[in-house]
Amino acid sequence: MGMDIVFIVEMVEVVGIALGVIGLILTIVICALPTWRVTTIIAGNVATTEVVWYGLWMRCVTQGTGQTQCDNSMWHWRYNLQPARAMIPTAIILGVLGVMVSMVGAKCTNCIKDKTSQAKLIIITGILFILAGILILIAVFLVAKPIISDSSTQIEGKTELGASLYFGWVAAILLLIGGVLLFVTVGVFGWTMGIFGWIVSLVSCYISISHYYYIWDMKKVLMTITSISSILGALGVMGSIFGTRCCNCIESNRIRVKARFIVGIFFILASILQLTTEIVVVHFLIMDVQRQLANLVDFILFDLVFLAELSSWSASMLLIGGTILCCSIFKRNQSDSSMTQSTSR
């Protein structure tokens, strides 16, 4: 039975690394190909119709006769591309580092025999994959949003999303799933979900503090709830630093179990507060939008909806992470009791 569990863990680890490698390959492809945006300039006849392909580094024009010319003249689209030009190469570097670290720390390679060192390297690999996936998602979103919503891009012709944007979404999802699977193999999935949920809660806290100057009563409520949630999440993150096995800060298994349970409680309480934030925002939008936001809909309504979405994501991740950490105490207690019984016999 133990060998079966080890084999399953190794297989999941290999799948996570493989997904990260595939996501890295797709990222390199979309970085090189000029297929981020496609503009079709329809003229009077087929011969003068042009299809313009835009990429991060070049532009290619395919005429109706079939002739294609490429150049690096990107001045008319440089403002939308500057963030992507920085994020995509950074994601590639992070992905390459993640693959290199995984080759050293994976259980199937046996480069390092110490299990604690292997766990640390796998955690680093998962973090690198997840960061790369997040950067790709942000870059693709920044390029796709003006194409979908901005009508000014339609002046020079019919503009559509290029194939690189779709492949970018796939690459980001693969990297994120690969990173999560690696966290599962080393038993820190609960910690990871809680930490990422806390990071998202910090964003919602910043939004509630820096916005809604014209709705003071609501701002005070949101500031209080999100601030307390961020503090509870920070306490959970601080506890997670000392409670994991790979840190070796706590040697006693019983104290580790207690630390996990306490951190899980902090994460669950923070998730409840984040859910309360979402309920407050949704209630305000349903009941008071006509009275409070009559003249402020344009620059407040979007922030409120965005805050509600962030709170829901943060609450979900904190609740999942906290529940996993709290439930792990039962397994630990059961194993400890069985060990004490066998010892007494």
**Domain spans of the chain?**
1-186, 188-339
Across 26-35, 181-190, 312-321, least confident range? 181-190
Beta strands in the chain (DSSP E): 37-41, 50-54, 59-63, 68-71, 158-161
Structure tokens at 310: 């962030």
CA distance 27 to 173: 11
CB count, 10 Å around CB of 263? Answer: 27
Give CA–CA dist 58/71, Å, rounded.
6
Mean predicted lDDT score pLDDT of the chain: 76
Q: What is the mean pLDDT of residues 94-101?
A: 92
Of residues 325, 310, 324, the one with CA closest to residue 198? 310
pLDDT of amino acid 79: 52
- Side-by-side strand order, sheet with 59-63: 68-71, 59-63, 50-54, 37-41, 158-161
Mean pLDDT, residues 201-221: 72
Distance in angstroms (rounded) separating the CA atoms of residues 170 and 58: 23
Residue 298 falls in which region: left (phi positive, over 0), alpha (psi -120 to 50) or beta: alpha
- Residue 252: pLDDT over 70: no
* Residue-level pLDDT at 19: 92
Query: How many whole angstroms separate alpha carbon 287 and alpha carbon 137?
Result: 34
Q: Which helix (H) or strand (E) holds 278?
A: helix 253-287
Assess whether pLDDT exceeds 80 at residue 251. Answer: no
Question: Which CATH topology does 1-186 take?
Answer: Butyryl-CoA Dehydrogenase, subunit A; domain 3 (1.20.140)
Task: Report residue 265 as tokens.
Answer: 């409680």
pLDDT at 77: 57
Q: How far apart are CA 267 and CA 191, in angstroms?
A: 9
- pLDDT band for position 301 (cuts 50, 70, 90): low
pLDDT in tens, 152-208: 444 455 677 888 889 999 999 999 999 888 887 776 778 788 888 888 888 888 877
What pLDDT sits at residue 90? Answer: 94
Give the distance, in angstroms, between the CA of residue 42 and the centroid of all CA atoms in the same chain.
39
* Phi, psi angles (nearest 5°) of residue 252: -75, 130
Rounded mean pLDDT of 96-121? 79
pLDDT at 167: 92
Tens-digit pLDDT profile for residues 261-272: 888 899 999 999
193 CB-contact burial (10 Å; exposed 0-12 / middle 13-18 / buried 19+): buried
Cα(61)–Cα(157) distance, integer angstroms: 13
Distance from C-alpha of 261 to C-alpha of 108, rounded to nearest angstrom:
32
Rounded to 5, what percent of the chain is helix, strand, coil? 75, 5, 20
Q: Is the pLDDT of residue 21 over 90?
A: yes
CB 36 within 8 A of CB 139: no
Of the listed ranges 36-50, 64-78, 215-229, the one predicted with least confidence: 64-78
User: Each residue of 122-160: pLDDT tens digit?
Assistant: 888 888 998 999 899 888 888 887 777 654 444 455 677
Lowest mean pLDDT among 89-103, 217-231, 267-281: 217-231
Query: What is residue 302's predicted lDDT score, i.e. its pLDDT?
Result: 65
